Amino acid sequence: MPIKWHGDKAEKRMRRYASRGVKQTANAVRDGAKLRISIPGPPPAPPHEPPHIDQGDLIASVRALHPVDLISVVGTDKDYGRFQEYGWHQMGDKTTPLKGPRPWLRPEWELLRKNWAKHFTDQKL
């Protein structure tokens, strides 16, 4: 069965389709991460659990940016978002014990990474 190539038109359509899938996946990671950190505190979350809301700055800062086609970035501009995710030393002193991480973004990415194809297959060309 011969395949008829439609050149630039087909390439543009596929790029648009793939870009939508990337954006949908990034938005799903953002929304899931916000849900993970939506539990009010006090008390603070135990290590290895997503952080609880203290003042709400972290949850308000979580964004999914789409600077160009096929590229999306999910995260926060709050420095302590990284410290919550990976853990930290008291006041930057590496001789103190590492405070337990409270991952909130990576687990959501890992969960959606397993099912990312649905964001591409559920749309029409």
- Predicted pLDDT of residue 2: 80
| Domain assignments of the chain as residue spans, ordered by start | 7-119
- State both tokens at 79: 């420095």
- Predicted pLDDT of residue 123: 62
Give the angle 37-38-43 at the CA atoms, nearest 5°. Answer: 80
Q: pTM (2 decimals)? A: 0.81
- Predicted pLDDT of residue 76: 97
Spans of the chain, pLDDT less than 70: 91-98, 119-125
- Predicted pLDDT of residue 58: 96
- Predicted pLDDT of residue 23: 92
Distance between first and last Cα of the chain: 22
C-beta separation of 108 from 29 below 8 A:
yes
